[in-house]
Amino acid sequence: MREKGIKDQRVLDAMNKVPRHVFLDSSFLEHAYQNKAFPIGADQTISHPYTVAFQSELLQVKPNDKILEIGTGSGYQCAVLLEMGAQVYTIERQNELYKKTNLIFRKLNYRPKRYFLVMDIKVCQKMRHLILL
């Protein structure tokens, strides 16, 4: 990532700690650390490592910053932010990904502040605070 212009050492350290291969289907293991996106189910993909690094660097994360991630996907981006010391609130709408990622978080001992499954707008309407994007 450094050769692609990522300068924040905390981002680089976090990405080196997160085992990206765990977030992928076993058929992609030998390619897990290439700068490629791979399917993760529910017609979604895991982001390129550079994309995750670039986004993380742009956030200028400080320990205990609160971050809302909409679209947990594989959980890889969330894991990187957690390694950087952020308190991550993450929302997923695909039940398949929610279940898969929840198992990965437990296996790797990653604990987002909150991990929500939101499949219906009615659930959102019952929440006290809403965010419109």
Residues composing the chain? 133
CA dihedral 21, 24, 27, 28 (to 10 degrees): -60
Taking the C-alpha atoms of residue 127 and residue 16, their distance in angstroms, rounded to an integer, is 36
Q: Which of 26, 27, 47, 56 is catalytic?
A: 47
Task: Let me know if 56 is a catalytic residue.
Answer: no
Q: What is the distance between the alpha carbons of residues 117 and 8, in angstroms, rounded to a whole number?
A: 31
Q: What are the DSSP calls for 65-78, one per residue? A: -EEEEE--TTSHHH
Instruction: List residues with catalytic annotation.
Output: 47
